[in-house]
Amino acid sequence: MSATASASVRHALPGLVLGAVLIGLAPIFVRLGGVGPTSAAFWRVFLALPVLFLMQRLSQGRPLRNGSTDPRDSTRVLWLAGLAFAGDLAIWHQSIRLTSIANSTLLTNLAPVFLTLVLHFYFHQRHAPRFWLGLVLALSGAVVLLAGSLRIGRETVLGDLCAIVTAMFYAAYQLLVSRGRRNFSALDVMLRSSAGAAAVLLAITLATGEPFWPPDAHSWIILLALALISHIGGQGLIAWALAHLPASFSSVTLLVQPIAATVFAWLILGEGFGPQQVLGGVIVMAGILLCRFAMPAQNPQVEAERAGA
């Protein structure tokens, strides 16, 4: 492995965590954006497209393909990733409207469960018992983190179901991006998947008739921050890291997101943060570390993805 590739692998986990932290700002940007929930999702990806296109051109990035992969199949993976991401954003933003943010955040973060089950039963990728224990521990920490704001009742059922479906879409997105990164650069993945997501989200937004145009300069700034910080910064770092880390471990690590969202809500919106949230965050991090220790030193999937990074 070259020195550059080795450095990328070492930086992958910090990059993934930083990406998750930046994604943690997204709910706040959506709340302050001044448009409908699906409209905010559209502007998130649409406003990112010119910047992603420019970055891709400046980097002179080209698809990185290995000889055993059909380029058409690889390209389809990226468009499917865009479709999954559009479903993730559209349904998640609706769940925020229909249930509490705590319910939505917790249930959306069931994504690593769905992803690990798919890898286990469909791709026959086995995980050590310590990994499953770490996954349960991390999810338990998320419950502790958000327990003070959870609401259970008939009025939240539809929103809670939307959040669970969101988790399925996000798991599919992570898996597709992980596959796509074997043959494409992170900028290629982000540009094509964002373009596909923008087209789908525009159609959904126009069909629902929700508020579309940002009403003032402040709303434009918020939505631009959503595009630059949460999408290009956060999602871009996640896409880059997925070339160097197993998809299942990456998905568990993204449980850092509810910790970040809780901290940002405390700092920016003045929402509650106390010993319970600290305890929940510590349990989440302990679960992530346990999953990390459960991963083999040399993982065939990681090696394959490194070759295409």
- pLDDT tens digits, residue range 270-298? 666 678 778 888 888 888 888 877 766 54
Listed in sequence order, the residues at least 6 apart from 244 whose beta carbon sits closer than 8 Å to its beta carbon are 8, 9, 12, 302, 305, 306, 309
**Residue 308, domain member (yes or no):** no
**Residue 238, domain member (yes or no):** yes
Q: Within a 10 A sphere around the Cβ of 273, how many other Cβ atoms?
A: 16
Residue 46 has pLDDT above 90, yes or no: yes
**Residue 208, domain member (yes or no):** yes
**Residue 25, domain member (yes or no):** yes
Q: Which residue has the tokens 């492995």?
A: 1
The pLDDT confidence band at residue 302, using thresholds 50, 70 and 90, is: very low
The per-residue pLDDT of the chain, averaged, comes to 80
**Residue 288, domain member (yes or no):** no
The whole domain housing 115 covers 3-125+151-245
Q: Which residue has the tokens 């070339």?
A: 243
**Residue 18, domain member (yes or no):** yes
The confidence score (pLDDT) of residue 20 equals: 86
Residue 300 has pLDDT above 50, yes or no: no
Select the more confidently predicted residue: 205 or 8. 205
Residue 218 has pLDDT above 80, yes or no: yes
**Residue 271, domain member (yes or no):** no
**Residue 121, domain member (yes or no):** yes
Average pLDDT, integer, range 49-67: 72
**For 68, which DSSP code?**
T
CB 146 within 8 A of CB 280: yes
% of the chain at pLDDT higher than 90: 20
The confidence score (pLDDT) of residue 258 equals: 77
| Count of domains forming the chain | 1
